[in-house]
Amino acid sequence: MAEISAQMVKELREATNAGVLDSKKALIDANGDFEKAVEILRTKGLATAAKKASRDTNEGVIGTYIHAGSKMAGMVELNCETDFVARTDRFQQLARDLAMHVVASRPLYVSRDQVPVDLIEREKAIYREQMVNSGKPEQVIDKIVEGKLDKWLSEITLLDQPFVKDPDVTIQSLLTDSIAALGENIRLNRFARLAIGEE
């Protein structure tokens, strides 16, 4: 079995924001393999986040971002469970990053369940119409329509969008990681985007 040094534990803690004991246990379980230990902690964090998802979020902050030149601005309401977490630098930075993301990525809704059903049906009809003369079988057309619909929904819903500062991570993943790191349920409640000259 690999020797687990204090330096290894320190590096893992810095990389994941996990506690000392959790970091040491993950390194032991991973037999000293750093990447595997990160994955163990991430999996544990995701499980913890799922458990916290039903808890009330009555505290939080309004995060704002005004783009250079003051022609565009974003604002988000980011909620958590306690005022203590709402005041942490990490939570405040998350709120600001989300407001900046709103300016850059122009979401229309927070989540898929907010998208009106008639709008979804209209998009489906458009995609189906595009496939009418394709000669493809009906079940293939259905799959293509569903694929296009899924892509469209991921472009217009904030939680599904790739994070503007790290496109490998969705906004939902960013929130889930923050829940695991801060130990509280976090919810992005609503947002607004303002731009000079835009309706």
Instruction: Tell me the fold of 116-156.
Output: GTP Cyclohydrolase I; Chain A, domain 1 (1.10.286)
The residues spanned by each domain of the chain are 6-52, 59-110+157-195, 116-156
Closest CA to 153 of 168, 170, 140, 135: 170
- Please report where in the chains the tokens 């320190």 appear, as a residue: 10
Closest CA to 191 of 112, 119, 114, 108: 108
User: What pLDDT, in 10s, does the model give residues 15-49?
Assistant: 666 666 777 778 888 888 878 887 777 776 655 55
Q: What is the mean pLDDT of residues 188-195?
A: 93
Which range, of 115-124, 126-135, 152-161, 170-179, averages the lowest pLDDT?
A: 126-135
Say whether domain 6-52 belongs to CATH 1.10.260.40.
Answer: no
Token pair, residue 46, equals 């995701």
